């Protein structure tokens, strides 16, 4: 609520031109009559003038006024009061809540402020304060669960600002690329992502927004809300408004916000601790009879770890103190946990804000330093924000928002074969991680654990090059991945009130960044030494001109907007990588490339020119009708077919104005229809050839795998939405309900086609994907008293998608595939089914009984990789946000949840395949270990129907063959998990110092809080060690399989907030 008060305050000072600088000072506190709580953000104005102020966090105000004037106290949702000063120097006021009015103002598309009750579509806002409870780096991540219909898929905190993906109202494009537009103070900014699906996760670029600058976030969920964004708004818009300085008597406010958090790795995949590295339960022996651990096998199907003295990997290094020695073969149960460190996250911010009668300003500075939970990983981020406005004349204001962000990071790798996550997949349970930590001997020899076997004659290892995996510490300290980014975004806006009811606003908006990415592969590990470097530059400019007309004619109100926009994007990059190795150790430079380095230079230009208009009519403050239209011309579309129109219409009826039912404080019915569109990236409509390998001076060219299309059209979505907004009992209980249906037609997709056509895919207009769903948001204040209050918001949304049609003759769209050990799995969309089916190998089953079929050896039979396991999308998502205040204490807790959805876990599968999972040492029905020989009663019991005889059979089969070659490699059905979860994502327990204490301190307010981020997974259906809420893999827009997920990070810390 506070945000709206201050916003109105700001509006109310728009016309401030004069100021009486004299006379007496009056001060006091404004409280809520009902509960005596201090009320911040109340406008205090000297009647008949524009002289005034706004109450602070403690509800206090102080104002210089002429004697005998009248003060007007007003705030949204409260009945205004006028009080004569009559010489008083202290004046405390209690405001009574106004159950009748709900004149909340919200910022809608293009920054147009609208009365919330006039809107014919759903909007849901989140206060900046709620997004900054625990100092998260990535603002999109904090939206999880806070807005009905918005799904956020996160990634592990170990990436430090890793990818947070946001989907609004289901998946609305067949290729999954339906990212909403992000707009900050009216400026659209890039939310690109430079990560691949594996390697370092650099995160989405919206993380450059400083969360503590955010005043509020408003999500425009449907095309009706975002219609004015035309071709850029088909998938919704996230509108962020930043905090501003306040006009009024000269006032400087300084706020310091510091937090220190410790971060811990948690949620490890369980491991067995009985059998060590190798492929056979008997040790191999050297010529002298000494048993040794099979270093060449990166699995744990070896001998029992019973303490037998053996030659372990360290004993083969002549430089090692244990060289030639036998040491006990024992488990190291915590070897994986031992790798992780305690991370530190230190965040310091300062803001200075204020203003006088014709200027406002706010300056913010933020510094974030994170040392990650993986060794030698870190992130440094600096944000600088400046907002200012200046009234050039009575009716002309110039304002600007300028933001600068700098990121500098050294990040861990993720994914199957990157970084260290492999040790959940391929490792030996006997390895002592603490011994691996010193990865380099004094003479420079690198200590690895995965080597060729020793020569059986000499018992020596001569080649210390690692086979498949590096020592994880070598990866962490030598194979570095660095990235940095400098970014500016902001605007300069000039607004001119030609008439009181007519404003013209012009703005120049820009977002520009330079991203650097560098990767090293060092000498002494797997793979050729290599170095790659890329510099990516993006510049987006928006030139905008807008005229707004607001006038009331009796009972009729008219809001009109007319405007135009030119959008220009220039993007270029230069990326280079060495080929064939490096010329000298430690010389990481393209000049060190042994062979012709690979280089790419790229540039891109795109322009969209737009015109738009909107009219909104209101009658009796009860009936509202909106209509808008936008015309977009995109340079990325074919020349003679590049201009498109996007209309919308919406209406609302505030029926609480018509009925007189005391319980109902507010009631509105709304409905809307809109069309929105989206285009494609440039250069997809004409033919170009690929540049191939240069052979001995012959430059080769090739026909690319994707067939471009000169007849492409923008995609269109038609959306219908209807809903109810209700407030009961003096706004203590609120319910928002929305039903929507969105039909996304003519999607621009790169459709996989039969490669025999000569092309792997073709850019086409195809398909119809339909989403319909409901969103419910319940808000309430179950307890509200002087000392104690509880506010809660509960959001839930359900979405159903259906791929109604694809292209003629095509009934499957392949979104992605992954192949491991020659076994593929797919994410496909089938005509007539929900978006995104997981497809892979399943058990072959007996038709009659549904039991699995087994072969002559008793092993389960499996299908081809064509079995459809159903959609990956969740049935419902939501969140439960709580704020409890007791005296000076406050407790905030955020819970988010998801029901349904599924994914493959390759980490779990490989843990089983490589004999690391506890499943592989289970006790069988004979009371024996499954790894014991079959003749001794060991083995895994497999029951099923024999495919040959049709008889029911029960067989014990060899555990290693079963888990390693069949289950852990081929039967994806076993590794499919439900993605449902309930997660406690944020907790803040704060104390605000009372007035008495504050009087002794030179501060206006001090708040100290214990904060916890991601403290607990309350419930999940997937097995321990896998976090279903963080299966984001880099920039993949749909999360459908987990592989090499980074460790879960739990953070606990303290936050101090001082205002003076």
At its nearest, how many Å lie between other proteins and the CB of residue 284? 9
Query: What residue has token string 């995949």?
Result: 269
Give the list of residues 6+ apart from residue 573 with CB closer than 8 angstroms, or none: 534, 535, 536, 537, 600, 601, 602
At its nearest, how many Å lie between other proteins and the CB of residue 659? 46
**Of residues 688-727, those binding other proteins (CB under 8 A):** 688-696, 698-705, 707, 709
At its nearest, how many Å lie between other proteins and the CB of residue 396? 7
What stretch of H or E contains 423?
none
- Nearest residue to 791 via CA among 667, 663, 894: 894
Q: Residue 389: helix, strand or coil by DSSP?
A: strand
At its nearest, how many Å lie between other proteins and the CB of residue 821? 7
**Of residues 622-651, those binding other proteins (CB under 8 A):** 631, 633, 635-639, 642-643
Task: Compute how many other C-beta atoms are within 10 angstroms of the C-beta atom of residue 891.
Answer: 16
d(CA 1043, CA 958): 27
Give the list of residues 6+ apart from residue 947 with CB closer than 8 angstroms, or none: 844, 853, 854, 855, 861
Assign residue 1057 a region: left if phi > 0, alpha if psi is -120 to 50, beta otherwise?
Answer: beta
**Of residues 461-500, those binding other proteins (CB under 8 A):** 465-467, 492, 494
DSSP-assigned letters across all residues of 615-636:
EEEEETTTEEEEEEEEEEEETT
By beta-carbon proximity to other proteins, the closer residue of 252 and 694 is 694
Q: Which stretch binds other proteins (CB under 8 A): 42-50, 132-140, 453-461, 996-1004?
A: 453-461
d(CA 807, CA 841): 26
By beta-carbon proximity to other proteins, the closer residue of 441 and 602 is 602
At its nearest, how many Å lie between other proteins and the CB of residue 832? 14
- Interface residue with other proteins, options 116, 304, 369, 453 (CB under 8 A): 453
By beta-carbon proximity to other proteins, the closer residue of 398 and 947 is 398
- Interface residue with other proteins, options 324, 755, 782, 950 (CB under 8 A): 755
The structure tokens listed for 571 are 């993007």
Burial 492-524 (b: 16+ CB within 10 A, else e): ebbbbbeeeeebbbbbebbbbbebbbbbbbbeb
- Nearest residue to 388 via CA among 247, 538, 184: 247
By beta-carbon proximity to other proteins, the closer residue of 468 and 619 is 468
By beta-carbon proximity to other proteins, the closer residue of 87 and 289 is 289
**Of residues 506-525, those binding other proteins (CB under 8 A):** 506, 508
At its nearest, how many Å lie between other proteins and the CB of residue 400? 12
**Of residues 190-219, those binding other proteins (CB under 8 A):** none
- Interface residue with other proteins, options 324, 758, 933, 994 (CB under 8 A): 758
Cβ pair 315, 309 in contact under 8 A: no
The site that binds other proteins (CB under 8 A) totals a number of residues, namely 102
At its nearest, how many Å lie between other proteins and the CB of residue 979? 24
At its nearest, how many Å lie between other proteins and the CB of residue 643? 4
Our finding on whether 756 is near other proteins (CB under 8 A) is yes
Q: Residue 3: helix, strand or coil by DSSP?
A: helix
Our finding on whether 527 is near other proteins (CB under 8 A) is yes
CA distances from 848 to 175, 366, 845, 887 (A): 38, 65, 9, 66
By beta-carbon proximity to other proteins, the closer residue of 463 and 949 is 463
- Interface residue with other proteins, options 757, 786, 923, 995 (CB under 8 A): 757
At its nearest, how many Å lie between other proteins and the CB of residue 185? 18
Our finding on whether 610 is near other proteins (CB under 8 A) is yes
**Of residues 360-399, those binding other proteins (CB under 8 A):** 392, 396, 398
**Of residues 842-871, those binding other proteins (CB under 8 A):** 864-866
Cβ pair 604, 536 in contact under 8 A: no
**Of residues 293-352, those binding other proteins (CB under 8 A):** 296-297
**Of residues 50-89, those binding other proteins (CB under 8 A):** none
**Of residues 216-245, those binding other proteins (CB under 8 A):** none
- Radius of gyration of the chain measured on its C-alpha atoms: 32
Site map (CB under 8 A) of other proteins, residues 549-578, x = contact: ---------------xxx------------
Cβ pair 877, 167 in contact under 8 A: no
Q: Which stretch binds other proteins (CB under 8 A): 304-312, 603-611, 724-732, 1038-1046?
A: 603-611
Our finding on whether 603 is near other proteins (CB under 8 A) is yes
Phi, psi of 23 (to 5 degrees): 70, -160
Q: Which stretch binds other proteins (CB under 8 A): 33-41, 728-736, 750-758, 870-878?
A: 750-758
**Of residues 861-920, those binding other proteins (CB under 8 A):** 864-866
Site map (CB under 8 A) of other proteins, residues 828-847, x = contact: x-------------------
Cβ pair 461, 454 in contact under 8 A: yes
Q: Residue 88: helix, strand or coil by DSSP?
A: coil
Q: Which stretch binds other proteins (CB under 8 A): 341-349, 795-803, 814-822, 917-925?
A: 814-822
- Nearest residue to 513 via CA among 484, 546, 487: 487
**Of residues 530-549, those binding other proteins (CB under 8 A):** 543, 545
Cβ pair 776, 799 in contact under 8 A: no
- Nearest residue to 104 via CA among 725, 674, 546: 725
- Interface residue with other proteins, options 602, 619, 661, 886 (CB under 8 A): 602
At its nearest, how many Å lie between other proteins and the CB of residue 761? 10
At its nearest, how many Å lie between other proteins and the CB of residue 417? 12
At its nearest, how many Å lie between other proteins and the CB of residue 602? 5
By beta-carbon proximity to other proteins, the closer residue of 556 and 687 is 687
By beta-carbon proximity to other proteins, the closer residue of 52 and 677 is 677
3-class SS shares of the chain: helix, strand, coil, % to 5: 10, 50, 40
- Give me the residues paired with residue 846 across strands: none
At its nearest, how many Å lie between other proteins and the CB of residue 683? 4
C-alpha 295: how far from chain center: 40
**Of residues 92-131, those binding other proteins (CB under 8 A):** none
At its nearest, how many Å lie between other proteins and the CB of residue 468? 8
CA distances from 585 to 331, 525, 528, 957, 967 (A): 36, 12, 11, 50, 43
By beta-carbon proximity to other proteins, the closer residue of 957 and 1026 is 957
d(CA 43, CA 80): 10
By beta-carbon proximity to other proteins, the closer residue of 452 and 845 is 452
Cβ pair 541, 565 in contact under 8 A: no
Alpha helices in 174-290 (DSSP H): 223-226
Give helix then strand counts, H and E, for the chain: 11, 57
d(CA 323, CA 312): 9
Q: Which stretch binds other proteins (CB under 8 A): 752-760, 784-792, 978-986, 992-1000?
A: 752-760
Cβ pair 89, 46 in contact under 8 A: no
- Interface residue with other proteins, options 445, 814, 926, 1035 (CB under 8 A): 814
- Interface residue with other proteins, options 345, 762, 905, 980 (CB under 8 A): 762
**Of residues 955-984, those binding other proteins (CB under 8 A):** 965
By beta-carbon proximity to other proteins, the closer residue of 348 and 598 is 598
Name the burial class of residue 624, with classes exposed (0-12), middle (13-18) and buried (19+) by CB atoms within 10 angstroms of its CB.
Answer: buried
């Amino acid at each position: 609520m506070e945000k709206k008060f201050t916003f109105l305050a700001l509006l109310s000072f728009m016309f401030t031109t004069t100021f009486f600088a004299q006379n007496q000072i009056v001060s006091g506190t404004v409280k809520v009559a009902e509960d005596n709580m201090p009320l911040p953000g109340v406008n205090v104005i000297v009647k008949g003038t524009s002289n005034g102020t706004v109450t602070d966090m403690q509800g206090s105000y102080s104002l210089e006024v002429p004697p005998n004037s009248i003060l007007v106290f007003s705030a949204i949702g409260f009945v205004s009061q006028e009080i004569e000063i009559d010489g008083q120097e202290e004046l405390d006021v209690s405001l009574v809540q106004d159950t009748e009015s709900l004149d909340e103002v919200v910022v809608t598309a293009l920054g147009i402020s609208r009365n919330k009750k006039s809107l014919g579509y759903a909007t849901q806002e989140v206060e900046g304060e709620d997004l900054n409870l625990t100092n998260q780096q990535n603002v999109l991540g904090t939206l999880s669960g806070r807005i009905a219909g918005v799904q956020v898929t996160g990634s592990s905190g170990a990436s430090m600002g890793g990818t947070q993906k946001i989907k609004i109202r289901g998946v609305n494009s067949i290729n999954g690329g339906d990212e909403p537009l992000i707009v900050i103070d009216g400026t659209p900014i890039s939310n690109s992502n430079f990560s691949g699906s594996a390697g370092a996760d650099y995160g989405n670029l919206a993380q450059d927004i400083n969360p503590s600058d955010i005043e509020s976030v408003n999500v425009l969920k449907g095309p009706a809300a975002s219609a004015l964004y035309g071709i850029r708004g088909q998938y919704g818009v996230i509108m962020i408004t930043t905090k501003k300085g306040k006009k009024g008597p000269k006032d400087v406010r300084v706020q310091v916000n510091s937090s220190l958090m410790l971060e811990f790795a948690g949620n490890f995949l369980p491991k067995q601790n009985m059998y060590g590295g190798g492929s056979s339960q008997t040790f191999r022996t050297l010529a002298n009879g000494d048993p040794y651990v099979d270093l060449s096998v990166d699995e744990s199907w070896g001998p029992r770890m019973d303490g037998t003295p053996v030659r372990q990997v360290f004993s083969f290094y002549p430089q090692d103190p244990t060289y030639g020695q036998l040491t006990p073969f024992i488990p190291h149960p915590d070897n994986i946990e031992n790798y992780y460190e305690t991370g530190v996250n230190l965040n310091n911010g300062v803001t200075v804000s204020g203003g006088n009668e014709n200027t406002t300003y706010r300056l913010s500075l933020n510094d974030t330093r994170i040392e990650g939970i993986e060794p030698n990983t870190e992130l440094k981020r600096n944000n600088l924000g400046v907002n200012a406005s200046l009234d050039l004349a009575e009716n002309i204001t110039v304002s600007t928002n300028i933001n600068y962000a700098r990121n500098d990071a050294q990040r861990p790798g993720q994914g199957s074969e990157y970084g260290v996550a492999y040790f959940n997949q391929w490792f030996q349970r006997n390895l002592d991680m603490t011994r691996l930590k010193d990865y380099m001997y004094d003479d420079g020899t690198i200590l690895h654990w995965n080597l060729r076997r020793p020569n059986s004659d000499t018992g020596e290892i001569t080649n210390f090059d690692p086979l498949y995996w590096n020592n994880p510490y070598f990866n962490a300290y030598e194979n570095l991945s660095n990235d940095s980014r400098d970014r500016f975004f902001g605007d300069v806006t000039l607004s001119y009130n030609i008439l009181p009811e007519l404003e013209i606003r012009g703005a120049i908006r820009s977002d520009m960044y330079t991203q650097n990415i560098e990767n090293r592969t060092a000498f002494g590990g797997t793979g050729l030494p290599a170095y790659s470097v890329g510099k990516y530059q993006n510049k987006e400019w928006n030139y905008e001109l807008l005229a707004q007309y607001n006038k009331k004619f009796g009972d009729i109100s008219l809001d009109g907007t007319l405007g135009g926009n030119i959008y220009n994007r220039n993007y270029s990059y230069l990326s280079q990588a060495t080929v064939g190795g490096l010329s000298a150790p430690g010389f990481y430079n393209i000049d060190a490339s042994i062979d012709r380095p690979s280089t790419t230079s790229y540039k891109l230009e795109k322009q969209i020119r737009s015109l738009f208009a909107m009219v909104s009519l209101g009658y009796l403050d009860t009936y509202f009708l909106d209509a808008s239209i936008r015309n977009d011309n995109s340079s990325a579309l074919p020349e003679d077919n590049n201009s498109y129109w996007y209309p919308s219409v919406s209406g609302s009826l505030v029926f609480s104005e018509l009925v007189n039912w005391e319980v109902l404080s507010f009631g509105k019915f709304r409905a809307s229809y809109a069309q929105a569109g989206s285009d494609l990236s440039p250069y997809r409509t004409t033919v170009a050839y690929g540049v191939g390998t240069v052979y001995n001076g012959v430059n080769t060219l090739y026909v690319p795998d994707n067939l471009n299309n000169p007849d492409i059209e923008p995609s269109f979505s038609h959306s219908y939405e209807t809903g109810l907004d209700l407030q009961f009992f003096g706004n203590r209980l609120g319910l928002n309900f929305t039903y929507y249906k969105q039909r996304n037609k003519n999607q621009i997709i790169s459709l996989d086609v039969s490669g025999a056509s000569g092309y792997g895919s073709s850019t086409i207009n195809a398909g119809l994907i339909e989403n319909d769903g409901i969103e419910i948001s319940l808000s309430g204040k179950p307890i509200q008293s002087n000392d104690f209050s509880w506010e809660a918001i509960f959001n839930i949304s359900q979405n159903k998608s259906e791929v109604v049609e694809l292209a003629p003759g095509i009934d499957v769209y392949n979104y992605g595939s992954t192949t491991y050990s020659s076994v593929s799995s797919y994410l496909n969309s089938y005509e007539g089914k929900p978006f995104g089916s997981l497809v892979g190998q399943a058990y072959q089953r007996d038709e009659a009984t549904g039991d699995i079929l087994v072969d002559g050896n008793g092993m389960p039979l499996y299908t081809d990789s064509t079995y459809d396991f159903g959609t990956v999308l969740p049935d419902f998502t939501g969140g439960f946000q709580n704020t409890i205040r007791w005296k000076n204490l406050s407790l905030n807790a955020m819970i988010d949840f998801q029901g349904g959805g599924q994914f493959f876990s390759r980490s779990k599968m490989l843990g089983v395949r490589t004999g690391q999972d506890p499943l592989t040492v289970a006790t069988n029905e004979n009371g024996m270990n499954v790894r014991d020989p079959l003749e001794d009663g060991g083995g895994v019991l497999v029951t099923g129907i024999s495919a040959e005889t049709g008889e029911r059979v029960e067989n014990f089969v060899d555990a290693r063959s079963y888990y390693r070659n069949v289950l852990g490699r081929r039967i994806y059905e076993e590794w499919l998990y439900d993605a449902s979860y309930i997660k406690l994502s944020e907790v803040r327990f704060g104390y605000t110092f009372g007035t008495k204490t504050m009087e002794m301190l030179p501060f206006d307010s001090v708040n100290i809080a214990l904060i916890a981020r991601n403290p607990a997974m309350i419930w999940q259906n997937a097995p321990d060690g896998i976090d279903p809420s963080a299966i984001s893999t880099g920039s993949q827009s749909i999360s459908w399989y987990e592989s090499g997920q980074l460790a879960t990070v739990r953070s606990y810390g303290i936050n101090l907030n001082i205002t003076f």
